[in-house]
Amino acid sequence: MEVTVNHLGSVQFEIKARQHTIVCDQPAENGGFDEGMTPPELMLASLASCAGFYAAQYLKKFKLATEGTKVRVTAEKLKEPPRLGIFTIEVDAPVELSEEHRAGVERAVHHCLIHNTLLHPPKIELVVKSLSAV
């Protein structure tokens, strides 16, 4: 997997993955134009959409309605070091679920790639290079 981010100016960045492009920005109070989500919001969006995918796949497998499935993810900003913590994932299924299916959706969401990445932090390598003028 690969994502490329290019600085557009000010505090805006263009994010590219495969043939898709989105803009990351900051709210006006942080010097931005509020034309895109912030990096922490993008992280929550990744977790929510991944959880939603797994929840919908479970519902589909059992021939339950998937249209209208909603996922809300919240996190608190923590300090020392600055980071997000205490994530909460809320899944609203579009149908009434039995206890068995509620537990099944929960198990399915626990298989989400982003969820498991956060639970088992990866090693992160940082390489800083200077682009020489051509």
* 35: confidence class by pLDDT, cuts 50, 70, 90: very high
Q: What is the pLDDT of residues 40-72, one digit of tens each?
A: 999 999 999 999 999 999 999 999 999 999 999
Where are the chain's structural domains?
A: 1-36, 38-134
As assigned by CATH, the class of the 38-134 domain is alpha beta
What's the pLDDT at 132? Answer: 72
With a cut of 80, say whether residue 133 has pLDDT above it.
no
What's the pLDDT at 131? Answer: 81
What's the pLDDT at 134? Answer: 56
Mean pLDDT of all residues in 109-115: 96
Measured CA to CA in angstroms, residue 47 lies from 37, 72, 110 at distances of 14, 9, 11
What's the pLDDT at 61? Answer: 97
Task: Kindly give the pairing relationship between strand 4-9 and strand 70-78.
Answer: unpaired
Q: What is the pLDDT of residues 88-101, one digit of tens each?
A: 999 999 999 999 99
Compute the mean pLDDT over every residue in the chain, rounded to the nearest whole number: 95
With a cut of 60, say whether residue 20 has pLDDT above it.
yes
Who's near 19: CB < 8 A, 6+ residues apart?
Answer: none
